Structures are given as C-alpha cells and as structure tokens.
Amino acid sequence: MSSRPLPVVQRVPLPQGTPEYEALRQKYLSELEASIPDEYYLPQSLIDNPPRDVTSVPRECGILTAEEIDITENYDATALAAAIASKKFSAVAVATAFTKRAAIAHQLTGCLVEYFQGEALERAKALDEHLEKTGKTVGPLHGVPISLKEHMPIKGHYTAVGFLDTRHIDDYDCQMVAILRAAGAVFYCKTNQPQGIMHLETVSPLGRTLNPHNIDLSAGGSTGGEAALLAIRGSILGIGTDIGGSIRGPAGFCGIYGYKSTSYYLPTKDFLVGGFAAELTVLCSTGPMGHSLRDMDLFCSVVKASNPHIEDPALIPIPWTGTATAPKTTPLKVGIMWNDGAIIPQPPVKRALAWAKEQLETKFPGKFEVKSFVPYQAAEAMVNIRKAYWPDGGNAVRAHLAATGEPMFHLTEWVLKDAVSEEELPVSKVLEYRVARDVYRQKFVADWNAQDVDVVISPVFVGPACEHETAFYWNYTALWNYLDYPGVVFPTPIKALKKGAEDYAPEDATPLSEQDKHTRELWAKGDFENAPINLQITTRKYHDNELFGALAALQEALALP
C-alpha cells in the first residue's frame, strides 16, 4: 500500500453529489488506486505542475526500461504480433510494458477506470508457454494487449452504462471480447467513459479524461479514455462504440485512427444490456481504435473471420476484404465537404481539408477526381437526430442519477435539452421520427448519386479538440450515424497553431447560424495549441470494405500511417 494517494492530474473539478454517492465513488477510486503498484507512481511535483503536452512523460519519467519504451513506442499492433510470434519479445514482456505505461498514462490523463496487471501477466505467461510448447501462436492477436471501454463486459470485471448505480462485475465475456480472447488478445484495463455514455467529452464519476497533446483540452467522448490511452501509447489497440461520434470524435481529438462500422456489421452483443432507447431511430455501432490503417484492417479481419453472425443473427454476414478491396471506379471520386451548411469549421480544420485536397490533386494527378461535396440539408438532419436521441424524455437518465444521488453533469444537461418532452414519447411520435429518418436517407442518397462521389472527406468536429465542457456540436459525426454510413477518422500532419496565429478566412467571415456564431466565440476564447487535426472519410451504408479499399488507395497521397 502506498504512503500517498495515487496522483492524477485533474484540470476542472467534478460536481459534488450526495454523501452516499461520494462514498460509493470513493470506494471505486480506492479500488483502482490499490491495483496500481506504487513503484509506478509519478512524482507529486510533476502532477502538481504538469507540462501542457504530456505525451513524452512516459518516456522520460524513468519508470519504463529502454526495452519497454521500444515496445510501446515503435510498433503498431501488426508489427507487435509478428514480434511476439517470432519470439523477439515475449508476451509477458509486452504485457508488462503496456500495463506499466497505462498506469503512467492514467496519472497524466485520468483515462482508466479499472486496471488488472496481474491477470494480464498470467494470461501472457500462458501464451508464452503455449508458443514454446507447440511452436504455434493461438491466433493472429497472440500476446497483443487490447484495452476496453468500460461498458463492454469482460468476465470478472466491472461494467457500467455511464452511471454509478449501474456498476457491477460481470460473470461472462461479451461476444467481441470472446472473439478477441480466442485470437490471443491480452486484456489489462478498462477505460473511462462519460456520464450516460452520451457526451463528446469524457467526464464521469471516476474522473475527467484529459487530452495528452494538451491537457487543457478534451480527449473527446464517449470513448475518450481509450483515445487518450492510445495517444500516449499506453495501448496498442482499443475498441469503441459510436451512436453520435463516440469513436470518431475522440480519435480526432487525440490524433489516432478510429473506425465506426455500419450498424450490425461488427458484433455489439451484450454491450448495453437492456438496450438504449435512442436506437429506436439511430443505431449504435462499434469498431477499433489504433495507430495504423493496417491495424484497423487486422482487427476487422480477425473479428469477421470468426463468423460472428452465426452466434448473433442480427449481424450482416458480409465477409471482410478491407484494404485489399479494389476501388470500383478509376479515378477514385473524392468529395471534400468544406462545411455542413450550419457551422463553418474552425481555421485549423479548414487548413487540413485544404491540405488533403492539394495532396490528392498534386501528388498523383489523374488518380483521384476531387470535387466539393455539399451534404443534403444536413442542418435538418441534426434537428431530427437530436430529438431522436431521447424518446423517453431523459427519464432513464434522471432515474439512474436519483438512485445514488449522482449529480447531473453540465454536458448531460446540455444533451437533454434536445428532448422534446420530459415524458416518454408515444409510439406514433417514435414512428414519425423513423419515417422522417428514412425519407431523409432516401433524399440524401439521391443527392449523393447526383454529386457522383465514391467517398467524402469531411471534418471530424467543428474544430480541434475543444476546451473542457465545451463539446456542444456533434454535427460532423452525428450526421453519418443518422445515415448509418461507415466512417474512418485518420491522422494528418496538421496541428493547431499558437493562439492568434490563424483565424477565419475572409470568405468565411459571415456565420451560417447561431451555432456557427457560438463556435467562433469558442475559437476566440480558446487556446488549442498542439491539438492534432484529423479528418474523416465516409461512404455508403454497408460499403465498409469499399471504404477501406479507398483508404488504401489514398494512403500514399495522404501519408497515412
């Protein structure tokens, strides 16, 4: 037991709840603290005065060995799996490196909610013994560490659906975890998610997750714990869920890859026991988060090769071809979505879009046909999707909060403002929303066809990673949830500059809406220096393979890792 509490950097305090809630919250925090060895504790002086960019701290703090730094910084999951299979590294060495780095990452960013190093090392030891005895790996992910978002069930560990009263220990693996475990994965931690799992910032009763590139900025949500852990290289591969941007937003904020599949393409069985009322109109999906395009491809190939639709009949049995998928048209027709007609993205995002356009037009002339893309009445879609998220009027949220005296967080209040009533909607109103959604989808695809594009490159968010408590506008991710189009967020070399170094272009001087005006106010007030700028690529529903085929075609031109 350490002589001092586990130090964790926190920039903005959490709301206080009832004594019952605070006692329960402290119980869980104490359990997490007790699970992390005190030899992994960072100096209190560093916690009290951290650098704004903490990404280099794990390398420089003296806790990791040279080999552990090499393992965690110089490999993607694909290369790491090969290194373990060839016995360059043992699975135990890899698990040790990532569990140690995850402990460091949590102190700097508040990314974890559960940590189980002992279990991970025991699993890794068994994998090493199997390889030594048989000369074979157990599967393509043999020894690869994978981190999990809190709500995904794994046997013997806590699961919660965004509220303290729902936290419990599961006695089974969900389907996704079982598939990955059978392929050789090593699980070692669960990561933070926001209250209700419905914010684009990750702030929960167990803490606020900070962006490793700039701790005064959000890591995004709802899979923000995963994104922060990956960005600081405390994870090599993670899993998220997405019903409004919860994979893509955090991936964009933290400068990593994130893939939101079309609904019912990848398994989500048991992810949310009891379901979520929003899915009556807007469907959730899942996907990997990681460091390279080939890791996204590897993850999906492993999962789809297990034929998950045999166990879950809700899944669509489309085989995975991924990056090996040949584009159906030559040249590839790429639309650039400069804005959604409601909010012009902040200057660094506009700069990233211009960079992408220039790369495609100049690096490989004739290979890509690049054109502007105008999304069909996207502002109308956003009005409809916000209403569709809360058919129960937010009653389930309020009931969960009341159960323990959990306070309603600021961004929970913000998202619940969209509920059209505090009462549960009648079936006729929910049906009205579904009909409106389907009509919109039909009009959108007709317009997409008329604009004649294969894929669309667009912003991930209205700007770079936002300051804490300001993740208000989901426009650039939620649109694609409403349409149920697959999307991948990918890194670019563009970063936000020092405050005052860039501003809106003259042609963008006039706000398109009140939301746009507010976004400009947030830009003027904020300091986003060093925030990564990612972009998003999307295509038609269930064209997930074609999406990855397009990414493979774009990889060299956009310098994609």
Rounded CA-CA distance 425/394 in Å is: 11
Catalytic residue among 246, 285, 306, 458: 246
Q: Are 151 and 143 in contact (CB under 8 A)?
A: no
**What separation in angstroms does the CA of 280 have from each of 15, 72, 248?**
31, 41, 22
149 is catalytic: yes
513 is catalytic: no
Using the structure block, give the residue that is written with the tokens 């009290």: 48
Where in 18-169 does DSSP place strands (E)?
112-115, 145-149, 158-159, 168-169
Catalytic residue among 222, 285, 292, 458: 222
How many Cβ atoms are within 10 Å of 405's Cβ, its own excluded?
Answer: 17
Using the structure block, give the residue that is written with the tokens 């806590």: 158
* H helix runs in 112-207, sequence order: 117-134, 175-182
Show Cβ contacts of residue 380 under 8 Å, excluding neighbours closer than 6 positions. Answer: 440
Q: How many helices (H) and strands (E) does the chain have?
A: 19, 17
Rounded CA-CA distance 259/251 in Å is: 9
Q: Are 536 and 459 in contact (CB under 8 A)?
A: yes
Q: Write b or e for each residue in 409-419: b if 16 or more Cβ atoms lie within 10 A of its Cβ, otherwise e.
A: bbbbeebbeeb
Using the structure block, give the residue that is written with the tokens 């923000």: 224
Beta-bridged to residue 334, according to DSSP, are 370, 455
Using the structure block, give the residue that is written with the tokens 């590139």: 213
DSSP track, 296-307:
HHHHHHHHHHT-
Q: Are 417 and 462 in contact (CB under 8 A)?
A: no
Rounded CA-CA distance 12/355 in Å is: 34
**What separation in angstroms does the CA of 500 have from each of 347, 348, 504, 517, 523?**
11, 12, 11, 18, 10
246 is catalytic: yes
Catalytic residue among 90, 100, 147, 149: 149
Catalytically active residues are: 149, 222, 246
